[in-house]
Amino acid sequence: MNTFSNLFLIFILLSQATSSLSKCHPEDKKILLQIKKELNNPTFLSSWEPHTDCCNFKWFGVSCSSLTNDRVTDLSISNVTLTSQFPPSIGNISYLRSLFIYHLPNLTGTIPESITKLTRLVYLTISETGVTGPIPKFTAQSKSLVNLDLSHNNLFGGLPPLLYKLPSLSGILFNNNKLTGSIPRSYGYFNNSGVAALDLSYNNLSGKLPISLANLDIYLVELAYNKLEGDASMLFGSNKKTLVIDISGNNFEFDFGKIELSKTITTLDVSHNKIYGNFPMGMENVTFLNVSYNRLCGEIPKVGYFNTFDGSSFIHNKCLCGSPLPSCK
């Protein structure tokens, strides 16, 4: 063989070697390139090139797992300059385990219902974007979903009532959207040994809390700044494992003195409601307290960390008195 054909042979062998090293599944590559098109070919995706391997960590935000035969399992796009509708083809990356879409204020449109086809998803974050429309209707088929963070968007419509059926769910973050309607009765039936946090704050939720929430026994319950009303005492309970309850900025109206606090509670914000009565027992372990702007009356206790709370935790009630407010007559 002459030198030229030797070189040619080496070239063939090399290109075979590189192509066998190319792990990207053709289906995934096709879908990612389609997503790039749907995002209007932004410059930060210039690494998404048809002739390169999407699984070698050179494609911005993409990673694959050898456990799933080198299918794309992670997609992360955050904090880049992007003006586009939400890409509809995301629901086709069928082996996706983690989708992280964060801080993209000019990403608009609705979250496609097809995202619920991603039944291998474990972590889903779509946060601080301009997406609007309803929360997709996840069903028990999303059996791996652990964390569902759709906070800080422009989502509207009601809370999805079937969410309690997702068997692995731990964190539900829907705060800072424009959600309306009441809290579904079914939200009392979350798996208490699985779910840890429910944050529905800063929406437009309204109506009374369902009594079924007495069953809810999770670490963190945040309902702040909605238009909820009536009784919220069922959220409390001496046998619960609650650490944090924030129901501030609503129209709740109930006797504070009659609630039963968990032994674990450390953070309690009930400010800006119409809550009446005096202080409940068992506040020794509370390290953050805000009861301001309510209708409480009586002497402020001197237990636990109360000497560390300043007047702003207690102001604007009906007739609270004693340190740090003026003394009782």
Ligand X SMILES: *[C@@H]1O[C@H](CO)[C@@H](O)[C@H](O)[C@H]1NC(C)=O
CB of 10 to ligand X, least distance (A): 37
Nearest residue (CB) to ligand X, 50 versus 167: 167
Nearest residue (CB) to ligand X, 34 versus 323: 34
Binding residues for ligand X, rule: CB under 6 A, are 31, 34, 79, 81-83, 89, 92, 105-106, 167, 178, 191, 193-194, 204, 263, 271-272, 282, 284-285, 290, 292-293, 312-313
CB of 104 to ligand X, least distance (A): 7
What does the angle CA 182 – CA 226 – CA 211 come to, to the nearest 5 degrees?
40
Nearest residue (CB) to ligand X, 6 versus 83: 83
Nearest residue (CB) to ligand X, 16 versus 85: 85
Nearest residue (CB) to ligand X, 221 versus 270: 270
CB of 180 to ligand X, least distance (A): 7
CB of 47 to ligand X, least distance (A): 18
| 57-90: burial string, b at 16+ Cβ within 10 Å, e else | eebbbbbbeeeeebbbbbbebeebebeeebbbbb
Tokens encoding 268: 């309690």
Nearest residue (CB) to ligand X, 233 versus 271: 271
CB of 186 to ligand X, least distance (A): 14
Contact between 136 and 159 (Cβ < 8 Å): no
CB of 81 to ligand X, least distance (A): 4
CA distance readout (Å), 19 to 15, 28, 34, 46: 6, 16, 22, 21
Nearest residue (CB) to ligand X, 44 versus 276: 44
CA distance readout (Å), 228 to 85, 191, 201, 206: 33, 24, 11, 4
CB of 156 to ligand X, least distance (A): 7
| Pairing status of strand 62-65 against strand 71-78 | antiparallel
Residue nearest to ligand X (CB): 194
Sheet holding 220-222, edge to edge: 62-65, 71-78, 98-104, 123-129, 147-149, 171-173, 197-199, 220-222, 244-246, 267-269, 288-290
CA distance 55 to 27: 13
